Amino acid sequence: MGNAYSDEVLHAARLSPFKPARGLTGSEVVALHAALVEVLGAAVQRVAGVQAAQLRDDKRSAMRVHGRTGSSCPTCGDTIREVAFATKSLQYCPTCQTGGRPLADRRLSRLLK
């Protein structure tokens, strides 16, 4: 899955981006699946009938956390944060996803030391 939609799905499921998949509880797996269906289903509905040139803008404007670092979370109003993971950066809402705790960067360069 693309970086953008994985940020969106994790926010909808209220899961931390650093949560290991095998550590998920049964109810978290259910929430994750429901979020996948909701976020990707909504994305497919939005793009139906839209010109390719408009897709990028449409996709960006529909994002709740992805690419919105510093903006307010549409769910709770907390500030969207960004954290580095390996070579990517992820956006997430601390209140919705990590119990209010900001995450520490996990850059690849730091992991390799």
Query: Shortest distance, CB of residue 70 to Zn ion, whole angstroms?
Result: 14
CA distances from 40 to 36, 47, 71, 103 (A): 6, 11, 22, 26
Cβ closest to Zn ion, residue 51 vs residue 70: 70
Interface residue list for Zn ion (CB under 5 A): 73, 75-76, 78, 93, 95-96
**Contact present, 101 and 19 (Cβ < 8 Å):** no
Cβ closest to Zn ion, residue 32 vs residue 93: 93
The one-character DSSP state at 23 is G
Query: How many other CB atoms are there within 10 angstroms of residue 53's CB atom?
Result: 7
Cβ closest to Zn ion, residue 4 vs residue 98: 98
Query: Shortest distance, CB of residue 4 to Zn ion, whole angstroms?
Result: 17
Query: Shortest distance, CB of residue 113 to Zn ion, whole angstroms?
Result: 32
Cβ closest to Zn ion, residue 79 vs residue 89: 79
DSSP H helix total and E strand total for the chain: 5, 3
